[in-house]
Amino acid sequence: MIETLLVVSTVLLILVLVLVLVVLLRKPKDDAFVELEKELALLQENAERLERSLREEFALSRNETTGNLSQQRQELTTTLSSVSEGVRSELDKIRETVEGRLEQMRATVDDKLHKTLEQRLGESFRQVSERLELVHKGLGEMQTLASGVGDLRKVLTNVKTRGMWGEIQLGNLLEQILSPEQYAKNVATKLGSNDRVEFAVKLPGREKEDEPVWLPLDAKFPQEDYQRLVDAAEQANAELVDEAGKMLEARIKKEAKTIKEKYLAPPHTTDFAILFLPTEGLYAEVTRRVGLLETLQREYRITVMGPTTVAAFLNSLQMGFRTLAIERRSSEVWSLLGAVKTEFSRFGEILEKTQKKLQEASNTIDVASRQSRAIERKLKDVQQLPPSDSAALLPEISPPDEPES
């Protein structure tokens, strides 16, 4: 409404201004000018009237608009306050709901965290306790091992117990590889001598099988000489190494000479004996000495062996014993096969006789069958009696009574 009035008033003012300009540009004429002035006055009066009317309408419209705006503002304020209260109440509900959910989530998370923490802590404590138990067990085993090492050191420092340790090791090897009847302990290999070797393997004799040929085996453990050589090698002292090596060679030669003098007596024994060294390190050091093994075999008829080589040697002897047993049993096997062959030929003869007897019995049965059929043809016209009458007349051939079921 206001915009329309403004547009109309503006148009009228523009028209008035146009007419005034037209009048001013024309040449003045008395009558026309007077008329024009009247018209202009009339137009001016109408314009003023229209302006007043427009102002009144504008004022009225502004008042009305102001009232409408005030009413709308009040309504909007009321609506906004109600909406605000509704939103506030909804927000309060949402906040309460969210707080409740958060409290539930916090309780659930706390519960799960507590359970997980307890489980993890329990598992960690259990693993730690197991590790501590293993460490404690390992410490106990280490203490036991340390005590065992101390006992072993005591054993190795004592000459007698050290010799017994080598003897026990050699005995275990013999027991694992050979059978008890293939070797013996504490054997007097020399006739008329009280010296007894620790172990001796029974080898079969060629002339008399009941009298075995003994193979002496003796264990020696020169620990002091070997340890002296090891210490000198760790110190990198060439002079001490050479001196300790010579002492070890002298000790081995001495032991080999003793074995030869005490235990070798061919033909009751083999012409060589075995010197057993219970550790591989000692055996490797002895074999490393240039010319030592050849000297022992040539001068003293002694063969030096360690745990591995003596096991291989005993295994080869075991294979030889098996081969010899097979050779001895071969003649018995051939004799047994000859007896089986003889009995089998006799069994064939018995089978032939049995076959003849069975053939004769079969022929007899055939003849009896033909006679039986001929008798049946002859008796075809004879009247058959009841079974009771037949049993009374021929009690000897009547069938026995069937047992009642």
Q: Which residues does 238 contact at the CB level (< 8 Å), separation at least 6? A: none
Report the C-alpha gap between 274 and 268 in whole angstroms. Answer: 16
Domain ranges of the chain: 2-24+31-97, 159-328
- What are the strands, taking DSSP E only, across 248-385? 273-276, 302-305
Per the DSSP assignment, residues forming a β-bridge with 201 are 183, 215
Answer whether 202's CB lies under 8 Å from 183's CB: yes
Report the C-alpha gap between 23 and 17 in whole angstroms. Answer: 10
* pLDDT tens-place values along the chain, 405 residues long: 556 656 666 776 677 667 666 656 654 545 656 676 677 677 777 777 777 777 777 778 778 878 788 888 888 888 888 888 888 888 888 888 888 888 888 888 888 888 888 888 788 888 888 888 888 887 777 777 766 655 555 554 554 445 576 788 888 888 888 888 888 888 888 887 888 888 988 887 665 556 788 889 888 888 788 888 888 888 888 888 888 888 888 888 898 889 888 888 888 888 889 899 888 888 888 888 888 889 888 888 899 998 888 888 888 888 887 777 676 666 676 777 777 777 767 777 787 888 888 888 888 888 878 877 777 776 666 666 666 666 666 665 555 554 443
For residue 167, with 0-12 CB atoms within 10 Å meaning exposed, 13-18 middle and 19 or more buried, which class applies? buried
For residue 103, with 0-12 CB atoms within 10 Å meaning exposed, 13-18 middle and 19 or more buried, which class applies? exposed
pLDDT at residue number 405: 38
Distances (CA, A) of 19 to 8, 43, 220: 17, 10, 155
**Residue type at 134 in one-letter notation:** L
Q: How many residues does the chain have?
A: 405
Report the C-alpha gap between 174 and 315 in whole angstroms. Answer: 10
Answer whether 188's CB lies under 8 Å from 196's CB: yes
CB atoms closer than 10 angstroms to residue 24:
8
pLDDT at residue number 16: 67
For residue 257, with 0-12 CB atoms within 10 Å meaning exposed, 13-18 middle and 19 or more buried, which class applies? middle
For residue 216, with 0-12 CB atoms within 10 Å meaning exposed, 13-18 middle and 19 or more buried, which class applies? buried
Phi, psi of 201 (to 5 degrees): -90, 135
